[in-house]
Amino acid sequence: MGESKVDKAVACFDEGFNCSSSVFSTYCEDFGLDKETGLKLSCPLGGGMGRLQGTCGAVSGAYLLIGLKHGMYLKEDPDARIKTYDMVREFARLFAERNESTNCRDIIGVDLLKDDPQITSARIKEVCPKMVKDAAEIVEQLLYAD
C-alpha cells in the first residue's frame, strides 16, 4: 500500500514547504488545479497569512480546497456559497476540537516575527507537522465523504 495523502502532506511540510502549501498542494489536483499553481497560490497563507499569525496556514489551505470543490462560481448558484461557508465552519469546528484554536499565534505560542529565529524554527518543527496532519485528515473526512 502506498503513502497516504495525509502522509504526503506532512512530507511536503518536512521538505520545506509551508503549512498551507503542504495541505493545499497535496489535494488541489483532485479538484482541477495543478500542483505548481497550488503551491504558488497557497504560499502567502503560511504562518497565519505571511507570518502575521492569523488563521493557521494549514487551515487556510483546507479552506481553499473547500472552495475548489464547492465554491460558488455561477451567480445562479448561491447555494454553493452557503454550502462552502457551512463546510468552512465545520472544518474550523473539527480543527479547533483537536487543537483548541484555528489561530496560528494561539497554536504555536511564539511570535514568528519578533521572537528569536532559532526558538521559532524549533517551535514550528515541533507543532506544525501535527497541524498539517490534522488539517489533511479533516479535509479527507469532509471532502471525500460524498
Count: domains in the chain: 1
31-59: pLDDT as tens digits: 999 999 999 999 999 999 999 999 999 99
What is the residue range of 19's domain?
A: 5-143
**Percentage, residues of the chain above pLDDT 90:** 97
93-133: pLDDT as tens digits: 999 999 999 999 999 999 999 999 999 999 999 999 999 99
Q: Is residue 63 scored above 80 in pLDDT?
A: yes
| Stated pTM of the model | 0.95
Q: What is the mean pLDDT of the chain?
A: 96
20-36: pLDDT as tens digits: 999 999 999 999 999 99
Query: 3-state SS of the chain?
Result: CCCCHHHHHHHHHHCCCCHHHHHHHHHHHHHCCCHHHHHHHHHHHHHHHCCCCCECHHHHHHHHHHHHHHCCCCCCCHHHHHHHHHHHHHHHHHHHHHHCCCEHHHHHCCCCCCCCHHHHHHHHHHHHHHHHHHHHHHHHHHHCCC
